[in-house]
Amino acid sequence: MDAEQLREHAHKMVDFIADYYKTIQNFPVLSQVQPGYLGKLLPDSAPDYPESLQNVLDGETSYFDSYSIAGFLGEMLSAGLNIVGFSWITSPAATELETIVLDWLAKAFQLPDDFYSSGKGGGVIQGTASEAVLVVLVAARDKILRRAGRGALPKLVMYASDQTHSALKKACQIAGLNPELCKLLKTDSSTNYTLSPEVLSEAISNDIAGGLVPFFLCATVGTTSSTAIDPLPALGKIAKTNNLWFHVDAAYAGSACICPEYRHCFDGIEEADSFNMNAHKWFLTNFDCSVLWVKDRSSLIQSLSTNPEFLKNKASEGNMVIDYKDWQIPLGRRFRSLKLWMVLRLYGLEGLRSHVRNHIELAAYFEGLVSQDTRFKVVAPRTFSLVCFRLLPPPNSEDHGNKLNCDLLDSVNSTGKVFITHTVLSGEFILRFAVGAPLTERKHVTQAWQILQDKATALLESL
Ligand code: PLP
């Protein structure tokens, strides 16, 4: 393809995407296809000869989700430039823009100075929060093993709450930790599903007394099930006293850090060794863009650096530059900071703040609707843009309404107009209503609630 063909094709692609945005409301929110549907629509093998772009677009049947136009434009630019910036030398711009953008973001989030690249720390863009937690876990593991000796590996203890995302468990498996010593401490409704400092302290004391080696604590701001906020100040103090690496996972809720009125949810972050948030979740940045900051980048580098002959160059050898390959698992890396840079520049911090505030207001509006209908109950405190609620079961219901709520979920989702998800808290099946799509408006929330009410009425009448 030459430059003129690129111009022609890129215009067609932009038209296609613009039409998609324009008609997005006509698509079912939840895909209505059955497993294996695509194989039936596509040929058995790749075409032997080139096809026209129009042909490909005409046959486009799969659903795709683009997070914001700014993010998409950044992604487009990144694809167009096709930079593989693993070392500074391979793309000084990709490396330096990432450092600058993450320092900008650290400032916008009012993160402690230790997370800035000008000191011993810095930020790096990972593909996902799962990778972010894995790299810090490995750095923390190696740090303690340098002190305690490699023989201590089977005795290392990791702590988090039972509400922590399963990405942490996966990271523990990959890092070779003793699965029994990856302790997901129990939470309940008495602490709104947050990790209790007392429970943590007791577990650490018992483990030390038993000859084990506590080394890592993961707290969450905005747990996946109910957006619970672990008490960072108290947990951070315990981590410090016991010399634990303290990681804070704010994959979803981290975006709210940009609003001064929600910054208090992150108080205590000063005690953290590392902090991550997914810009691709709620920050108008297209997947994939998970931002990780560490206070001591040398710990990451010691665990993840390799220095083969073929990658040696004067800038790296002279310790003059950042080589992000040493802060992540793969060698190659995309120019992801371009999309974050586009988002920051095209929305501005105020634009991003109003995006987050708008979603929180919509969720609060939904919460208000639920609270007014006595057949329903809001079951966990709402801080951000997720509402956890359930339909109350009739008296003497055998399973405490779990089947009823499961049926309500299926019935609502089968309309294709709304997609709600569920979780289980204290043994109860809970419905979750999340506002997160950039195009969601108040009228959509009203419609969703109407569907929920109608389906609940039908279900209750059928009992
Ligand atoms: N941590 C939290 C709190 C999350 O909510 C999620 C995803 O839902 C993750 C981690 C995992 O995110 P990723 O898909 O980026 O690995």
Over residues 333-385, the pLDDT tens digits come to 999 998 998 888 888 999 999 999 999 999 999 999 999 999 999 999 999 99
Clarify whether residues 377 and 411 are in a common domain: yes
Residue 336 CA to ligand 1 center (angstroms) comes to 18
Clarify whether residues 341 and 365 are in a common domain: no
In a domain? residue 69 = no
Does the beta carbon of 249 sit less than 6 angstroms from any atom of ligand 1? yes
Does the beta carbon of 278 sit less than 6 angstroms from any atom of ligand 1? yes
In a domain? residue 129 = yes
Q: Hey, which of 224, 230, 280 would you mutate to test ligand 1's pocket, going by the most ligand atoms within 8 Å of its Cβ?
A: 224
Clarify whether residues 92 and 212 are in a common domain: yes
Does the beta carbon of 245 sit less than 6 angstroms from any atom of ligand 1? no
Over residues 256-284, the pLDDT tens digits come to 999 999 999 999 999 999 999 999 999 99
Q: How many domains does the chain have?
A: 3
In a domain? residue 90 = yes
Residue 66 pLDDT class (50, 70, 90 cuts): very low
| Cα separation, 22 vs 291, whole angstroms | 30
Q: Is it the case that residue 38 has pLDDT exceeding 70?
A: no
373 CB contacts (<8 Å, ≥6 apart)? 453
Average pLDDT (112-121) is 95
134 CB contacts (<8 Å, ≥6 apart)? 167, 170, 171, 174, 175, 329
Q: Is it the case that residue 64 has pLDDT exceeding 60?
A: no
Domain interval for residue 121: 74-345
334: region left, alpha or beta (phi > 0 left; psi from -120 to 50 alpha): beta
The confidence score (pLDDT) of residue 3 equals 81
Question: If DSSP codes are grouped into helix, strand and coil, which group holds residue 162?
Answer: coil
Over residues 396-417, the pLDDT tens digits come to 777 789 999 999 999 999 999 9
What CATH number does residue 34 fall under? 1.20.1340.10
Does the beta carbon of 224 sit less than 6 angstroms from any atom of ligand 1? yes
Over residues 157-167, the pLDDT tens digits come to 999 999 999 99
Clarify whether residues 341 and 359 are in a common domain: no
The confidence score (pLDDT) of residue 31 equals 67
DSSP-assigned beta bridge partners for residue 274: 247, 294
The confidence score (pLDDT) of residue 79 equals 84
Residue 128 CA to ligand 1 center (angstroms) comes to 7
Over residues 67-103, the pLDDT tens digits come to 677 788 888 888 888 888 888 988 888 999 999 999 9
Question: Is residue 90 within 8 Å of 312, Cβ to Cβ?
Answer: no
Nearest CA to ligand 1 atom 11: 129
The token duo for 290 is: 């998970």
In a domain? residue 28 = yes
Does the beta carbon of 296 sit less than 6 angstroms from any atom of ligand 1? no
User: What percentage of the chain carries pLDDT values higher than 90?
Assistant: 72
Does the beta carbon of 165 sit less than 6 angstroms from any atom of ligand 1? yes
Over residues 280-325, the pLDDT tens digits come to 999 999 999 999 999 999 999 999 999 899 999 888 998 889 999 9
Over residues 156-206, the pLDDT tens digits come to 999 999 999 999 999 999 999 999 999 999 999 999 999 999 999 999 999
Clarify whether residues 249 and 297 are in a common domain: yes
The whole-model pTM stands at 0.92
Per DSSP, 342 falls in state H
What CATH number does residue 393 fall under? 3.90.1150.10
Its ipTM equals 0.98
Q: Hey, which of 67, 126, 130 would you mutate to test ligand 1's pocket, going by the most ligand atoms within 8 Å of its Cβ?
A: 130
Question: Is residue 370 within 8 Å of 382, Cβ to Cβ?
Answer: no
The length of the chain in residues reads 463
Clarify whether residues 334 and 383 are in a common domain: no
Long-range CB contacts for residues 64-67, cutoff 8 Å, separation at least 24? 64/20, 66/17, 66/20, 66/21, 66/286, 67/280, 67/284, 67/285, 67/286, 67/287, 67/438
The confidence score (pLDDT) of residue 67 equals 66
In a domain? residue 311 = yes
The confidence score (pLDDT) of residue 141 equals 98
Question: Is residue 289 within 8 Å of 125, Cβ to Cβ?
Answer: yes
Residue 228 CA to ligand 1 center (angstroms) comes to 14
In a domain? residue 133 = yes
Alpha carbon of 388 to those of 32, 278, 383: distances in Å?
25, 21, 11
Does the beta carbon of 130 sit less than 6 angstroms from any atom of ligand 1? yes
In a domain? residue 350 = no
Residue 62 pLDDT class (50, 70, 90 cuts): very low
